[in-house]
A = this chain, B = another copy of it.
Amino acid sequence: MTIAALPQPYLLFLGDVGERAFLKTALGLADWASEHCIGEYRLPGAAVTTGLPAMAPVEARAGGARAMVIGAATPGGGIPDSWIDGLLQALGAGLDIVSGMHVPLSSIARLAEAAERQGRQLIDVRRPPNSISVASGAKRTGNRLLTVGTDCALGKKYTALAIDRAFRRRGIASDFRATGQTGILIAGRGMPMDAVVADFCAGAAEMLTPDAADDHWDVIEGQGSLFHPSYAGVSLALLHGSQPDVVVVCHEPGRRNMVGAAGFALPTVEEAIETNLLLARRVNPQVRCAGVSFNTSALSVEDAERLMETEGARLGLPVADPVRGGPAFDRLVSACLGQ
C-alpha cells in the first residue's frame, strides 16, 4: 500500500463465500465507506449480501467504479481458483483490483498478465511504500489521537473510526489514519504498519500523520498491544511515531487471554493506561488518556451499561462502547477534545 489514494469508488467482490465471518472486509467497507462503494459483485454460491446493489464489473464501471476490492477472505488466506474468472472480468471491464490478502495479486500469473495487457493496476494494500525514512522524533503541528489496546483484535480500528466520525459531526477537521489493511481499504489510504521493516516503523507512523493545522485531528488506528509478546514492538513504534496528544485505551471486558499468545493474561486497563502514557511521554510530555473504549458485544444492554458506569467511576474516566454509542460515547468524545 502507498500513502497515495486508492482508486475509488469501489465495487466490492464477495466471491462465492457463504459465511459472514469471511466477509468482514466487505461488511466493514459497507459500514464505514459506503459513500465509496457503488455495489457488490457476488459469484454463484455467495450466501451473504452487504445490502449494496448487486452488479457485474461492466455495470459497475459504467456507473463510475474505478476498482474492485476483494472483500472476502478464505480460511487459508489464498485466492481460490473459483475467483479468478471474476477478477479477470473486473480487469476486462477497466477496473483495477485492490486486495488486502496475504498473497500478492501479481503472484497469480493470469492476473498479472491480464493487468499488464489491459494497463490496469493490481494493488496490494499490505505492501508499504519504499520511501519511508527513519523517524526523527521532531514535534509536529496539529493534534493526534491514538487508540491503544489491552490486546489485539478488540476494537481499536472501530473506536478510531467512530471517534473520527464523531469529530466530523461536531464540525472538527479530522482524518482517520489507517494502519492495517481493512482500515486502509476504508480510508482509501494509510500505512500497513506491520509490514514495514522494523527500523523504519516509527518513521512510517510519522509519515502517516504529518504536520497539520492547529485545529486538525488525526485519529490513528492502533495496532497490537504493548503487552502482546508478538507485536509490542509494532505498538511502541506506532506510539512513538504517532506522538499522540490523546490515547484511548480499548478493552474487551471478560477476555482473559491474549489472542495467539498462550499463557499470557490481559493487563488491567490501569496497567495499559500507565504503560502507554509512560512510553508516549518520551515523544509528547503532554499526552493524556481521555477515556476507555469497551467492546461489550458479549454483554446484554443492561450488563454493558452497568459495567461501563461502574468502571468509569472506578477509573475516573469516561468509559463507552462506540458500537452502542449514546451519551457515554458523547462524553468520551468530549473528553478526547478536552471539553
Query: What is the minimal beta-carbon distance from A311 to any residue of chain B, in angstroms?
Result: 23
Say whether, besides A136-B262, A232-B236, A197 and B199 are in contact (CB < 8 Å).
Answer: no
| 1/0 contact string of A229-259 vs chain B (CB within 8 Å) | 1111111111011000000000000000000
The quantity of this chain's copies bound in the complex is: 2
Indicate if A275 sits at the interface (CB-CB under 8 A).
yes
With a cutoff of 8 Å between Cβ atoms, the chain B residues found around residue A6 in the complex are: none
Q: Total interface residues on A, using CB and 8 Å?
A: 39
> Which positions 189-234 of chain A face chain B at CB distance < 8 Å?
193-199, 201-203, 226-227, 229-234
Indicate if A92 sits at the interface (CB-CB under 8 A).
no
Say whether, besides A261-B137, A264-B137, A278-B275, A199 and B240 are in contact (CB < 8 Å).
Answer: no
Indicate if A298 sits at the interface (CB-CB under 8 A).
no
> Which positions 155-201 of chain A face chain B at CB distance < 8 Å?
193-199, 201
Q: Are A233 and B137 in contact (CB under 8 A)?
A: no
With a cutoff of 8 Å between Cβ atoms, the chain B residues found around residue A77 in the complex are: none
Indicate if A62 sits at the interface (CB-CB under 8 A).
no
With a cutoff of 8 Å between Cβ atoms, the chain B residues found around residue A227 in the complex are: 282
Say whether, besides A136-B262, A195-B199, A199-B195, A233 and B233 are in contact (CB < 8 Å).
Answer: yes
CA distance A279 to B79 in the complex (A): 39
With a cutoff of 8 Å between Cβ atoms, the chain B residues found around residue A197 in the complex are: 194-198
CA distance A264 to B201 in the complex (A): 19
26 pairs from A and B in contact (CB 8 Å cutoff): A135-B229, A136-B230, A136-B261, A137-B229, A137-B230, A137-B262, A138-B262, A138-B263, A194-B197, A194-B198, A195-B197, A195-B198, A199-B230, A199-B231, A201-B233, A202-B231, A203-B230, A226-B279, A227-B282, A229-B241, A232-B236, A232-B279, A233-B234, A233-B237, A234-B237, A275-B279
The 9 nearest A-B residue pairs measured at CB: A233-B237, A137-B229, A194-B199, A135-B230, A233-B233, A198-B201, A236-B236, A198-B234, A137-B261
